[in-house]
A and B are shown apart, each in its own frame.
Chain A
Amino acid sequence: MTFAERMLKIDRRIIFLVIGLCTLLPLLYPVGLPIKISPEVRGVYDYIESLPEGSVFLLSLDFDPASKPELHPQSISLLRHAFRKNLRVVAMTLWVSGTGMADQVVTQVAREMGKENGKDYVFLGWSPGGTAVIMNMGQDLYGAFPADYNGKPTKGLPVLQGIANLRDVNYAVSLGAGNPGVEAWYVFGKDKYKFELGGGCTGVMAPGLYPLLRSGQINGLIGGLRGAAEYETLIGQKGKAIAGMDAQSATHLAIIVLVILCNLFYFSLRRQSKQQGHSGL
Chain B
Amino acid sequence: MIRAFVTILVTFIASLVQAMPDIKTLTTPAGTPAWLVEDHNIPFVALELRFIGGTAIEPMEKRGVTQFMMGLLEEGSGDMDAQAFSIAKDNLAASFSYGSYADVLTVSAKFLTENQDQAIELLRQSLVDPRFDADAIERVRAQIESGIKSQAKDPSDIASAAFNAEAYPNHPYGSDDLGTLETIASVTAADIRQAHATGLTRNRVLVAAVGNITAVELGVLVDRLLQDLPVAGDIEMPTYVADALSAGVKVIDFPTPQSTILFGHAGIPRKDDDFFAAYLLNHILGGSGFESRLMSEVREKRGLTYGIGSFLASRRYGDLLLGQVATANNTVVDTIDVITEEWRKIADQGVTQAELDAAKKYLTGSYPLRFDGNGPIANILAGMQFQGLSPDYIQTRNDRVNAITREDIQRVARRLFQPEKLRFIVVGQPEGLE
Bind each other: no
